[in-house]
């Protein structure tokens, strides 16, 4: 029987693809939503990687989450300076 946490890789993958699509949007709301979806996918990948013993994946996802937060704050700063 497959361990339930092994299934996390599939929603993580779907969310990562959806987030990539959203971040590529020209609409600010979609790009912002994409950053949050990326963070959720990072969390799912970390949970799956931790369980699976994939240390490099866990470190990668933490690094990507930090870059996502950085990108979100920079995007909000840029939007605020335009207003």
Say what the pLDDT of residue 2 is. Answer: 63
The neighbour count for residue 16, using CB atoms within 10 Å, is 19
Say what the pLDDT of residue 65 is. Answer: 96
Q: Rounded to whole angstroms, how far apart are CA atoms 44 and 65?
A: 11
Per-residue pLDDT, averaged over 7-31, amounts to 94
**Full-model pTM:** 0.85
Say what the pLDDT of residue 17 is. Answer: 98
Per-residue pLDDT, averaged over 24-31, amounts to 91
- For residues 57-79, one letter each, b for 16 or more C-beta atoms within 10 angstroms of the residue's C-beta and e for the rest, the string is bbeebeebbeebeeebeeeeeee
């Amino acid at each position: 029987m497959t361990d339930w946490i092994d299934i996390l890789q599939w929603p993580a993958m779907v969310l990562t693809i959806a987030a990539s699509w959203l971040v590529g949007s020209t609409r600010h709301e979609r790009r912002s939503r994409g950053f949050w979806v990326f963070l959720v996918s990072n969390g799912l990948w970390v949970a799956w990687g931790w369980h699976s013993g994939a240390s490099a994946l866990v470190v990668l996802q933490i690094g990507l989450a930090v870059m996502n937060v950085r990108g979100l704050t920079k995007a909000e700063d840029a939007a605020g300076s335009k207003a």
